[in-house]
Amino acid sequence: MIQETIKALAASYFEEYRSIRHHLHANPELSFKEYQTSKFVQSQLNHLGISHTILGETGVIAILKGRPSDRIIALRADMDALPIHEENNVAYASKNDGVMHACGHDVHTTCLLGAARILNELKDQWDGTIKLIFQPGEEKNPGGASILIKEGVLNDPTPQRIYAQHVHPQLEVGRMNFAAGKVMASADEIYITVKGKGGHAAKPNLTSDTILTASQIVVALQQVISRNNNPLSPSVLSICTIQGGFTTNVIPSEVKMMGTFRAMNEKWRFEAHNRIRTIIESTAKANGAEVELEISIGYPSVINDADTTSVASSLASSLIGEALVGEAEISLGAEDFGFYTQEIPGCFFRLGTGNIKKGIVSGVHTPTFDIDEDAIKIGISMMAYLGARG
C-alpha cells in the first residue's frame, strides 16, 4: 500500500523537514524577491537528484516521472513572506527584520520538498508525470501564479489537475477541510480621487466640496453590495482610506480614497466595476466635482473543481480518517491559485495547523502566527499521496 509507505517515510523524515521549515522561517523573503529561498529549493532538489527549471526569476519547476502514462498532475507551493515584524520568541524566528512567514508559505514549501523526495523514491509505484511548482509572489499583485502561467507553467505538458494546500490556524492540527466550487473571492483594488474647486469653509457656495462629495461616494457605494449584488453570492466592498484637507476652515481641492472589492462570481465582478464607476461619476457630477477612478484588477476567485475536490477529500479521508476531514468554509480572502483554476481543474484545501491546547491560535498575517509542526508530517504525506494517486 503506497499510502502506508508514504506515511512511514513522512514520519521518518519529519525532523529533517522540521529543520528545513525552521531554516525557511528564519530567512523569509518578500514577494518576487525569493532569491535565497529559490536557491535553497534548487539545492534541495539537486540533493535529491530531481531536475528542475527556473521560471519567473525565482519560481522553481521540477518534473518527476513515474511509470509510463498520460497522467499529469501539478502540485503547487508558494514561497513568499509578508512585510510583518515577527513577534514570536522562538529559535527559528525571522532574521530578516520586518519580514515574516506569517502566511505559512514556509510550511507549504517544506511539505512540497518532502513530498518531492518521497515521490522520487517511490516513482515505480505511481503513473505519469508530476509537475512541482514552487511559486513566487503569491502575496502581491499581479500574483506569481499569473506570471508563471504567462511564462508557460501549464504548458508542455499541461497538467490535468492541480492541487495546493494552505495552513489554517483555525483548524486543529490533524484535520483537513475541503470544499467544491467557490472557496475564495476575487480581489480588486479601488483608487478614487475627487477633485473640485477648494476654498474658504465659510463660502461653500463658491466651492465644489470634495469632502462632501467623497462622503456621499462612500455611502452611495454601499448600495453596490446591498442593492445590486445577488444576496446569495457573497461580495464585499470596503473603502479603507480617506485622505483630504489639512485644516478647519479650508475646503480642499482634492480627496483621495482607496478600497477593496471582492466577489465570488466573475460575471458579477465586472458588472460591479461598471456600477462602481457609474455611482462614483454621477455622485461627483451631482456635486459639481470631478473624479478619477482606477480599478486595479487583482486575483480571480478560486473555484475548486468538483471531481478534483472529491478525489482529494477521499484521499485525505483514507490518509487521516474520515472523521478528521471536514467541509471548508468559504472566505472572501483572495489567493492567486484562482489563476490556475481558471485554466485547469484544481483543488485548494486547508491543512489544520492550530492547536488550542498549546495556544497556537494566531491567525495568518499576524505577527504571532505559528503552526503546530505535527502538521508538516500530514502536509508532506498529503502532497505525496495526491502526487501518487490524485
Joined together, the cell numbers standing for residue 376 give 508538516
d(CA 280, CA 270): 16
DSSP character string of 221-276: HHHIIIIIS-TTS-EEEEEEEEEE--STTEE-SEEEEEEEEEES-HHHHHHHHHHH
Q: How far is the CB of 166 from Ni ion (least distance, A)?
A: 6
Q: How far is the CB of 198 from Ni ion (least distance, A)?
A: 43
Are 187 and 334 within 8 A, CB to CB?
A: yes
CB of 104 to Ni ion, least distance (A): 6
Q: How far is the CB of 203 from Ni ion (least distance, A)?
A: 52
| Cβ at position 263, least distance to Ni ion in Å | 20
C-alpha cell at 23: 531554516
Cis peptide before 142 (omega within 30 of 0): yes
Which among 98-106, 207-215, 222-230, 290-298 is the span making contact with Ni ion, rule CB under 5 A?
Answer: 98-106
Question: Which residues 6+ apart lie within 8 Å of 226 measured at CB?
Answer: none
Name the minimum Å distance from CB 333 to Ni ion.
Answer: 9
Q: Does the protein bind Ni ion through residue 103 (CB under 5 A)?
A: yes
CA 91 to chain centre: 27
Taking the complex as a whole, the smallest distance from the CB of residue 334 to Ni ion amounts, in Å, to 10
| Nearest to Ni ion of 275, 350 (CB atom) | 350
Q: Which stretch binds Ni ion (CB under 5 A): 65-73, 102-110, 142-150, 196-204?
A: 102-110
Q: Which is nearer to Ni ion, 103 or 115 (CB)?
A: 103
Return the C-alpha cell found at 260: 477593496
Give the count of residues interacting with Ni ion (CB under 5 A): 1
Instruction: State how far the Cα of 144 lies from the Cα of 26, in Å rounded to an integer.
Output: 22
Closest CA to 187 of 240, 147, 150: 240
Residue nearest to Ni ion (CB): 103
Amino acid found at 151: E
Strand partners, 76: 133, 164
- Does residue 320 interact with Ni ion by CB under 5 A? no
**Residue window 167-196: x/- pattern of binding to Ni ion, with contact defined by CB under 5 A:** ------------------------------
Q: Is 371 in the site for Ni ion (CB under 5 A)?
A: no
Piece in contact with Ni ion (CB under 5 A), picked from 28-36, 99-107, 225-233, 250-258? 99-107
Q: Is 87 helix (H, G, I), strand (E, B) or coil?
A: coil
Q: And the C-alpha cell for 355? A: 492547536
- Name the site residues for Ni ion (rule: CB under 5 A): 103
